[in-house]
């Protein structure tokens, strides 16, 4: 279970980093087409971040339930 939690936390950090990188790129872009492309990537990264957070919460709930049943 601990390995699954570590992986889920790692995945969440990766998704957040992707968001940060895309936002940073917006600061230097001046081509509207590129800006639109990065905005779409931010939207996708935000969705994936939410999914990663949901997965982490589910694993934490599962771990808590297992600890209570012992």
Rounded CA-CA distance 32/5 in Å is 40
| Residue range 59-69, pLDDT digits in tens | 999 888 888 88
Rounded CA-CA distance 58/63 in Å is 9
The domain limits of the chain are 2-68
Give me the percent of the chain exceeding a pLDDT of 90.
79
Question: What's the pLDDT score for residue 63?
Answer: 86
Taking the mean position of all CA atoms in its chain, how far away is CA 57? 12
Which residue intervals of the chain are DSSP H helices?
Answer: 2-26, 32-68
What is the value of pTM for the model shown?
0.81
């Amino acid at each position: 279970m601990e390995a699954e939690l570590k992986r889920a936390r790692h995945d969440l950090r990766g998704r957040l980093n992707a968001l940060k990188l895309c936002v940073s790129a917006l600061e230097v872009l001046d081509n509207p087409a590129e800006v639109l492309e990065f905005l779409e990537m931010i939207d996708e990264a935000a969705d994936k971040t939410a999914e990663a957070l949901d997965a982490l919460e589910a694993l934490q709930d599962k771990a808590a339930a297992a600890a209570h049943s012992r």
